[in-house]
Amino acid sequence: MWNYRIIAHDEVEWPASKINPELEEVYLEIVEMYYDKNKIPNGYPATSKSLGGDSIKNLNWSLNKMKLALKKPIISIKNFPNEYKPNENK
């Protein structure tokens, strides 16, 4: 099983956080997320890919599925597969 999910690249220490530890910068990305038989996230592609399809209808289907990811909790890379919570790792 898979769907689109947003992941937070919170495993990287960004320059602003070195100046002010209260600031947390993350890069968010929509990826294909894969699940185990218990519906727990267990993987995603290491590299991003562009959205493609053989028709406008297929592109629209993918875009609509990506929009659903905006309504789900963001997944932390640093604490995969747990939910991302800003400043939880400070």
d(Cα 88, Cα 61) in Å, to the nearest integer?
A: 35
User: What is the per-residue pLDDT for 1?
Assistant: 93
* Bond prior to 45 in cis (omega within 30° of 0): no
**The whole model's pTM is what?**
0.76
Tens place of pLDDT per residue across the chain (90 aa): 999 999 988 776 655 555 555 556 778 889 999 999 999 999 999 887 778 888 999 999 999 999 999 999 999 999 999 999 886 554
H helices within the chain, ranges in order? Answer: 15-19, 56-69
